[in-house]
Structures are given as structure tokens and as C-alpha cells.
Amino acid sequence: MILACHQPTYLPWPGFFHKAIHADLFLLLDHVQFPRGTSWVYRNRIKMAGGQRWLAVPVWRAGRGLQLIKDVEIAEDRIWRHKHLASIEHAYSNAPYFGEHMPFFERLYGRQWTRLLDLNLEALHYLRDQVGVVTPFRLGSEFGAYGRGSELLVRMCEKAGADTFAVSRRAHPYLNEQIFSERGIALHYLSYAPPIYPQLWGDFISNLSLIDLLLNCGPKTLQILRRSGHWPDRTDTSP
């Protein structure tokens, strides 16, 4: 079984789902430390007439010390929800598939959220299903695997019963390949090239939130993702 994982990011980029496509199980790392600085866990980008626009969810940090992603709470004030919904509407009202997906965003931002994780999961599951990714998503905290770095990844593979771990080639310098080898887990490196697709508002900008691709390309999104990288043969473990 092939396992892949990622932090549960907010309205993630296409590469997130490209990785999920090539796994039998996709774990969302909700039980790791919430990054101290800026992070994709609570923000992402869309494209508007003036260029890229950041959508950032306000979260509580002060006085809370180190937090796990699953424990982070949203600093609820309604303003951010109104701004995010309005920004998406202004950015994509002329996109071919805007009308099909806008009701979801109205529901998403019409609801009050306490935990950042719950907000992110609601969006992740919707985007996964709309794209047509069939890989199941599970929370890392469900498996009781803890640790840091490569040791954590190996333990998650063992808990999930995976014999192969799929990972971006960009992560190669940060992996301890020896640990995987000693525990009998193969490493398979994914190559990903940001796809170019029809986009509103002038010159193309890559690596935006997946909603840019989905609202512009609709049912072609999955095909575009499949063509955006190379999945190596199971015997290819080269970084």
C-alpha cells in the first residue's frame, strides 16, 4: 500500500491533490506542531484583477505556546469570513464554473468555526470530491504515531500498514532514507510541475489555491493534475 501525507492546509494548491492521486491512503498531519511563522495551514492565494490576493484565516496564538494543528482555534470576528467570500466572488464571478461551486463557499463562510482544522477539512473534502480524487483522507492523529521527521513518517507507514511512502522529490534533502530502508519501507519520489491552464486576469500565476484551477477548468481539473507530474515505476526510488 502506498501512503502519502501532508499538513491539512487551507484551500490548498494543486500539488496537494496531485500527491493524493498517487496514494492509496492520504494522511492529514493534524498532530504535528502548528508552524510559528506564516504557514499554508491558515492561508492561501487566489487571483484577482490586481494580481494575487492572500486569504488568511485569523488564529489565536498569543499566550498559547506551542500548539498542535488540531488544537488551533480561529479568532472569530465574522469579518474574515465576509472578506474571503467577497474576494472569491469578485475574483471568479466570470469563471466558467463559478456558479457550480459558489453555493459551497456561501455555506462554508456562512458558518461560524471554532477550530481551524474543522474549517480546512470541510474545504479539503469538498475539493477532493469535486476534483474526483478517490483516495481516502484520514487524520494522522487517528493512528497514534508520534515523533519527528523521518521517524514520524516511518511510524505512520507502519501503523497504516503501508510498504511504500510517496513523497515530493523536493523533500529528498530532509529525509533519512536509511530509516525507511531499515524498516522495509520503499520511498517513491513524485515529480510535480505546476500546470498551466486557462486563467482569468492577465498573465498566468502558478501555484494558487486549487479553487483557481477548479473554477476555471471544472471537470478537466483531474486530467490536468494527472498530466502535471511523473509518477515513477515502483522500482524507481531515485530522488
Q: Encode pLDDT of 117-130 as tens digits.
A: 999 999 999 999 99
- Structurally, the chain folds into a number of domains equal to 1
DSSP letter at 191 equals E
Tell which residue, 201, 202, 203, 200, has the closest CA to residue 214: 200
Burial of 60 (0-12, 13-18, 19+ CB in 10 A): middle
Judge whether 44 lies within some domain: yes
Judge whether 176 lies within some domain: yes
Judge whether 237 lies within some domain: no
DSSP letter at 88 equals H
Q: What is the pLDDT of residues 63-78, one digit of tens each?
A: 888 999 999 999 987 8
Q: What is the pTM of this model?
A: 0.93
Q: Quote the CA–CA distance of 135 and 129 in Å, as a whole number.
A: 10
Judge whether 64 lies within some domain: yes
Judge whether 224 lies within some domain: yes
Higher pLDDT, 161 or 61: 161
Judge whether 8 lies within some domain: yes
The domain of 52 spans: 2-230
Q: Beta partners for 103?
A: none
Q: What is the pLDDT of residues 128-166, one digit of tens each?
A: 999 999 999 999 999 988 888 999 999 999 999 999 999
